[in-house]
Amino acid sequence: MVSNKGVLGGVETHATPHPELYPEEIGIKDKIIDDFDYKTIDSDGGFNDDYKKAVEIVKNKDGCVYTMVDGDDGELVYLKGLHYVNRFGICILTHLREMKGGSKE
């Protein structure tokens, strides 16, 4: 099953190969976060460019693009896709079960 892809805020979103592995929201204190490897995306072009770069990366490998935001309690929260409010970064989370060989790179 592949989730729908579309356009969010003028930026193309990406399809997730295994949407059941990637929740809409992950809190930094949630146990599930230990099931993921992550890569922060940082470029000089701003958040939209970072998101586009992340989408291009996941087109060629496993993973899902998340926006890192300040949660209501001040804790880090990962939200699937591109979000604008309280954001401070873009990252790719890859479920360890999908990674080649089942271990971190």
Q: What are phi and psi of 37, to 5 degrees?
A: -100, 150
* Mean pLDDT (whole number) for 38-43: 85
* Mean pLDDT (whole number) for 74-90: 90
Determine the pLDDT at residue 9.
Answer: 47
* Mean pLDDT (whole number) for 72-88: 89
Q: Quick check: 17 pLDDT over 80? A: no
CA 94/CA 31 separation, integer angstroms: 15
Regarding predicted confidence, which is higher, 9 or 14? 14
Q: Where are the domains of the chain?
A: 23-96
What's the predicted TM-score (pTM) here?
0.76
| CB hemisphere CA count around 8 (13 angstroms) | 17
**What is the torsion angle, in degrees rounded to the nearest 10, for the CA atoms of residue 85, residue 25, residue 67 and residue 48?**
-80
